[in-house]
Chain A
Amino acid sequence: MYPLGKTIYQSFTNQEFLAGLEPTKWVGLDNYCCGAGSLRHDTVFWHSVRKTIEFTVITVAFEFVLGLIIALVVNSNFKGRGAMRAVMLVPWAIPTVVAAQMWKWMLDDTFGVVNDFGTRVHVLSHSHAWIADPGTALASVIAVDVWKTTPFVALLLLAGLQVIPKDLYEAANVDGASKLQQFWKITLPLLRPAILVTLIFRTLDALRVFDVFYVFFGNRPDTQTMAIYDQSTIVGDGHVGYGAAISVVIFLIISLFVIIYVTLTRVKDE
């Protein structure tokens, strides 16, 4: 907790890492508001916020839908279900940075397997520089994150699926409900707690994304996330005070998402 308090304090100062240049002094809200160099007018920062939120919404949506499908498939009884679950843990166990490197190589513009396979089956007419092209840059990081985290989402949802009592489905079968009806009327409502936990988990995680973006783009300005901008402000440029202000804003943005989720569930519960 102490570091968090210290960050908040620092955000009201003009602290610089290269000590001795200027004594650190209290600057009030200058980092946040109003001045020319304040966060409010920092277009780079707000661009990174937009990118991060874009990334978060798309990845969480994909991961949720794919994860749910996988969870439903694995939840049915079949031979090799155990093996399947083990396989699903593989992407989760691979370090994010390593996964990013693996994909970076797969997406390589000349020797990458994605381009090769794509042109072989004629989905692509020619090789494409997925990572370098700003148009597909975001899509390529999303692909990595979806690959790495969907199985995890599926496992969380699967845990939720397994506590749904089986006799509910039997009763529905007797009443002649179709599989689709059963899904909407039994599975989804009963899965809601698990879904919520998963969504909150993943959203918070995606909002602080750093590793994949950094490995793919370094701190290329058009594809920075909030976290990368903050890190390069603090460590790269040594603007500790200003960086702390960014940290606080990131923290607030993330809290905002938590509050939204919590109120949404409250409203639904009533």
Chain B
Amino acid sequence: MNTAAEATRTAVRPISRRRALRKSPFGRVMVKLPFWLLIAVIFVYALFPFYWAIRSSFTPEGKLFRTPVQYFPSHPTLANFRGALSASFFQDALINSTIVAGSVTLLSLVVGSLAAYALGRFRFRGRSSVLYLMLSMTIFPQIAILGALYTMINSFHLSDKLGALILSYLIFTLPFTVWVLTSFMRARPGDLEEAAYVDGATPLQVFYKVLLPLIAPGLVTTGLLAFIAAWNEYLYALSFIQSPNHYTVPLAITSFVSPTGSAFAVPWGQIMAATVVVTLPLITATLVLQRRILAGLTAGAVKG
């Protein structure tokens, strides 16, 4: 008898409650539910503030300042974006920040990769002390050298100029770039370079033709990290820049005022639009280069 045989078989095999729960589709959901709930909470927590900035940037000013708060803009508008982007100090800030962050990135990559080449490939006296000096420089706080930088910049007549920012940001991006690129270079085997030397290449040729392509992923990562650091910096920009047409993005974001000039009517719609404008490129770049950034961050962190 078929059914009887089946019945005994199930009776013979001991099935724990837990496993029975896992077997039925409903049970599986019940076991997994808290887990997915947790995931959902993390998702919402990480993304909600950004969503809120987006929804506020699309909500017309009139609807923004009204309670109860709308969770989704019923009449989306681009007015806030238009307002933010037409503010001349914000336009300037976008250009200024691009110039500053761009040159900081470029300079730290050029100098950093050359220095990393020297530190990673050649043996010389004091090499490890140079490396540790670099590392200690990444640790001390920006504020510790603010006074000295402030007087230096004024004596160089760089006050209120973008050059002041480029100079001071390099102090922080360079050690980091050198450190990460050096460890990156050390991880590559030297065979290819030796082959190039045998073929009669000069050290500089080896650097350009062999090493640079090899460490390209490292360059992308450190470049992006340097760019983000320079793009986001606030303390030095606040201290060294006075005139609105030299503002960088973080300064501009905090200096939107209402057309009436009232301190109580902050134009949050425009601020949020500006926020979305400046973060979207960063987020996109980060997501595209996700894997490499993770590698770079952990490399810097584990060794730092």
Tell me the chain A residues, 134-192 only, with Cβ under 8 Å from chain B: 147, 151-152, 155-156, 159
Closest B residue to A7 using CB positions? B148
- B295 CB to closest chain A CB (Å) equals 9
Contact B42 A70 (CB under 8 A): yes
Count B interface residues, CB 8 Å. Answer: 68
- B104 CB to closest chain A CB (Å) equals 15
Contact flag A230-B146 (CB < 8 Å), given A105-B272, A204-B139, A214-B238: yes
CA distance in complex: A197, B69 (Å): 42
Residue in contact with B144 in the complex, picked from A80, A89, A105, A247, CB distance below 8 Å? A247
Q: Is the C-beta of B43 less than 8 angstroms from some C-beta in chain A?
A: yes
Contact A240 B147 (CB under 8 A): yes
- A98 CB to closest chain B CB (Å) equals 5
- B46 CB to closest chain A CB (Å) equals 5
Q: Is the C-beta of B294 less than 8 angstroms from some C-beta in chain A?
A: yes
Q: Is the C-beta of B171 less than 8 angstroms from some C-beta in chain A?
A: yes
Chain A residues near B71: list those with CB within 8 A: 113
CA distance in complex: A97, B141 (Å): 18
CA distance in complex: A112, B272 (Å): 13
Chain A residues near B231: list those with CB within 8 A: 95
CA distance in complex: A7, B149 (Å): 9
Chain A residues near B123: list those with CB within 8 A: none
Contact flag A105-B271 (CB < 8 Å), given A159-B294, A201-B304: yes
CA distance in complex: A208, B143 (Å): 7
Tell me the chain A residues, 3-29 only, with Cβ under 8 Å from chain B: 3-4, 6-7, 10, 15, 17
Chain A residues near B272: list those with CB within 8 A: 101-102, 105
Tell me the chain A residues, 243-270 only, with Cβ under 8 Å from chain B: 243-244, 247-248, 250-251, 254, 258
- B188 CB to closest chain A CB (Å) equals 21
Q: Is the C-beta of A75 less than 8 angstroms from some C-beta in chain B?
A: no
Contact flag A93-B228 (CB < 8 Å), given A208-B143, A210-B143, A235-B150: yes
Tell me the chain B residues, 18-68 only, with Cβ under 8 Å from chain A: 35, 38-39, 42-43, 45-47, 49-50, 52-53, 56, 64-68
Closest A residue to B154 using CB positions? A17
Q: Is the C-beta of A87 less than 8 angstroms from some C-beta in chain B?
A: yes
Chain B residues near A120: list those with CB within 8 A: 68
Total CB contacts across the A-B interface at under 8 A: 212
Contact A10 B147 (CB under 8 A): yes
Q: Is the C-beta of A234 less than 8 angstroms from some C-beta in chain B?
A: yes
- B73 CB to closest chain A CB (Å) equals 13
Closest A residue to B133 using CB positions? A1
- A116 CB to closest chain B CB (Å) equals 4
CA distance in complex: A51, B49 (Å): 26
Contact flag A258-B139 (CB < 8 Å), given A4-B144, A7-B144: yes
Q: Is the C-beta of B204 less than 8 angstroms from some C-beta in chain A?
A: no
Closest A residue to B249 using CB positions? A95
1/0 per position for A75-100, CB-CB distance to B under 8 A? 01010100011111111111111110
Residue in contact with B235 in the complex, picked from A108, A159, A227, CB distance below 8 Å? A227
- B202 CB to closest chain A CB (Å) equals 32
Contact flag A93-B42 (CB < 8 Å), given A214-B234, A234-B147: no
CA distance in complex: A71, B196 (Å): 44
- Which residues of A line the B interface, CB within 8 A? 1-4, 6-7, 10, 15, 17, 70, 73, 76, 78, 80, 84-99, 101-103, 105-106, 108, 110-113, 116, 120, 147, 151-152, 155-156, 159, 193-194, 197-198, 201, 204, 207-208, 210-211, 214-215, 226-227, 230-231, 234-235, 240, 243-244, 247-248, 250-251, 254, 258
6 cross-chain pairs, A with B, having the tightest CB-CB distances, nearest first: A6-B148, A95-B232, A208-B141, A97-B250, A3-B145, A116-B69
16 additional A-B residue pairs with CB within 8 Å, beyond A7-B144, A243-B146: A1-B137, A89-B287, A93-B282, A95-B279, A98-B253, A105-B268, A110-B65, A113-B69, A152-B297, A194-B302, A208-B142, A210-B143, A214-B234, A235-B146, A243-B147, A244-B147
